[in-house]
Structure 1
Amino acid sequence: MSTAPRIGRAVGVQVLLWAYAGVAFGPLLLVLLGSLRGNREIMREPLGLPTSPTFENFGRAWANASLSTYLLNSVVITVAAVTLCTVISLMAAYPLARWRFTGRALLAAYFLSGLMLPIKLGVLPIFYMFQSMGLVDSRIGLTLLYAAGGIPFSVFILMAFLRGLPTDIEEAARIDGVGELRLFRSIVTPLSRPAIATVAVFQLAPTWNDFFFPLILLRSSEKYTIPVGLSRFFGEFSTDRGALYAGLVLAVLPLVVVFVMASRQVVAGLTAGIGR
């Protein structure tokens, strides 16, 4: 087969990927540039470049819009929910993938049935249950909700990964007298790092960006997460475009940083797994 068609396809794929990257990152770049411009400059030329970059917009957004409180709430809830979801899912996926017992298939189907319906369809039962438990307007309640909502998907991913691991190391450890708890902690968990990182990455963005449940379940403004806080911020600073752009950058920046770091960890883990 001639190399010319292969080169043409490779060039076409590269062009499509760069075009998609431009469409995806273009708005982010405009927001970043807008955060460095004064309000009058933005109103005069909305899509222009900053002639004299300034960081005053970030100071106003941080000090006057309670973004520090919203960001802290989002960080605490997201980290706690993702950690709790990952730990519980790994503990559930390990016996379902590696042990043989009566009712295993039924229990696995029960976990996976959570993938069939979106959790938002159960907003009324969830609200009434949280109200009876005193978890409305509670960061703990919101954390538990996010953790529970991510378990079906996480169990599905972890089960598929654990089923592909060789059993030789576990069998050798059991012959040496290693208990199941130590085996899970010292052998299974390190081997599952690629899947754990993947699960954490996929649960991070929906939890951080969710607007629906914080709006429904939270009442106090000091407990708002960043999506709900930004909606209030937009109303209060609708005429200050520079501060609006700065607020968006501050809201997106932690997620971008974590995604970059997590992506490197996922790649490193997958590479290490292949090399073993």
Structure 2
Amino acid sequence: MAHRLQQLTKYVLLLLFSFISLYPIFLMFLSSFKTSQEITRSPLGMPHSISLDNFIEVWHKVQFSDYLLNSVLVSVFSLLIILLVSSMAAFYLSRYNFRWNGALLFFFMLGLMLPMKLAISPLYMQLLKLGLLDSLAGLVVVYVAGHISFAVFLFYGFFGTLPRDLDQSARIDGCNDFQVYYRIILPLMRPAIATVAITDLIKVWNDFFYPLVLIKSTGKGTIMYGMLRLFGEYDTEWNLLFSGLTLASLPMIIAFLFASRQFIEGLTAGAVK
């Protein structure tokens, strides 16, 4: 009886936290079908009718396709560079012992302790000197520099759980150091890769601060930067704003579901082996 009560309590708490987490998303989805008057009169109510007019209007009004393409390019290139550089750096730091091993690892960890937003002024001037200001490449550089520390920290801890006998066996079979990395170690890294991919992709996709400061041309903005155009000086088109946010969240939901499936498959494969 006590065990059943404990299980029931767990399920109730899980349902409660799930409701708290998902209700704002559900409310945003409902509001995307409402008119501005409906949102003002009944912000928590159901829409009177289901129509795609808001989505069509926001797609054309704020040039949503251009912002979507910019966000995809920035997010994909940032994520690929982060995964490649951080995994190779963590592999080298965890598998080889040299004089400056600890100091180099501490250098990466400084990125977790010092927020880059505090250094936005020198960062702005540096990008200006490099000719990367007001460009998607500049955003990629900033995101890679800002998120690579977390990825190295996570990959470094993951490599520590893998036995070094795998490396020695691969070298006996004729693999060089890079082949050990991408043929032996990389396939076992799917759980860590999925974790880094989910975390960094959401942060880069949802970021508003850096595009606002570093991007001046309207056509080079990201989705969150584009949503700023819906805020007027005297009025805000809330129906279009919720529609735009709904469209912006769909790629992240799809990517999260895909990465979560890969994460579970990676854990299962590792357990079977």
TM-score normalised to structure 2 length: 0.94
- Aligned residue number for residue 53 of structure 2: 56
Show the counterpart of 1:101: 98
Q: Which amino acid aligns with 1:161?
A: F
Cα distance between partner residues in 2 of 1:102 and 1:29? 54
Q: CA deviation at 1:8?
A: 2.4
Pick from 17, 25, 29 the counterpart of residue 26 of structure 2: 29
**Pair 1:78-2:75 in alignment:** yes
Letter of the structure 2 residue corresponding to residue 154 of structure 1: A
Q: Which residue of 1 aligns with 2:116?
A: 119
* Distance in structure 2 (CA, Å) of the matches to 1:50 and 1:260: 28
| 1:164 equivalent among 139, 161, 165 | 161
Q: What residue in structure 2 maps to residue 148 of structure 1?
A: 145
The Cα of 1:129 is off from its aligned counterpart by 0.7
Cα distance in structure 2, aligned partners of 1:182 and 1:35: 50
Per-residue CA deviation, residues 237-272 of structure 1 (Å, 9 max, x unaligned), is: 945433222111111111111111111111111121
Q: Secondary structure at the match of 1:92?
A: helix
Supply the distance in 2 between the matched residues of 1:39 and 1:181 (Cα, whole angstroms). 57
Q: Structure 1 stretch 37-46 or stretch 251-260: which is displaced more?
A: 37-46
The answer as to whether partners of 2:230 and 2:237 remain within 8 angstroms in 1 is no
Q: Does the 8 Å CA contact 2:30/2:46 hold for their aligned counterparts?
A: yes
Once the two structures are superposed, residues 34-79 of structure 1 have per-residue CA deviations (whole angstroms, 9 ceiling, x without a partner) of 2223444444433222332111111001011111111111111011
**How far apart in 1 are the matches of 2:113 and 2:165?**
35
Give the counterpart of 1:182 among 179, 184, 209: 179
Q: Mind listing any 5+ residue stretches in structure 1 that lack a counterpart?
A: none
Q: Structure 1: how far apart are the matches of 2:148 and 2:40?
A: 46
- The change in CA–CA distance for 1:145 and 1:240 in structure 2 (over 3 A counts) is closer
| 3-state DSSP of counterpart to 1:235 | coil
Aligned length: 273
Q: Which amino acid aligns with 2:180?
A: L
Equivalent-residue separation in structure 1 for 2:117 and 2:178 (angstroms): 35
Q: Distance in 2 between matches of 1:75 and 1:237?
A: 32
Residue of structure 2 in register with 1:209 after alignment: 206
5+ residue gaps, structure 2, are none
Partner of 1:139: 136
Q: Aligned to 2:250, which of 247, 253, 259?
A: 253
CA contact (8 A) 1:237 1:243 kept: no
Letter in 2 for 1:249: T
- In the superposition, the TM-score normalised over structure 1's length comes to 0.93
Partners of 1:263 and 1:274 in 2: CA distance: 17
SS in 1 for 2:231: helix
CA RMSD of aligned residues (A): 1.8
Same amino acid, percent of matched pairs = 41
Q: Secondary structure at the match of 1:192?
A: helix
Residues in 1 aligned to 2:227 and 2:233: alpha-carbon distance in whole angstroms: 10
Cα pair 1:38 1:54 within 8 Å, conserved? no
* 2:192 maps to 1:192: no
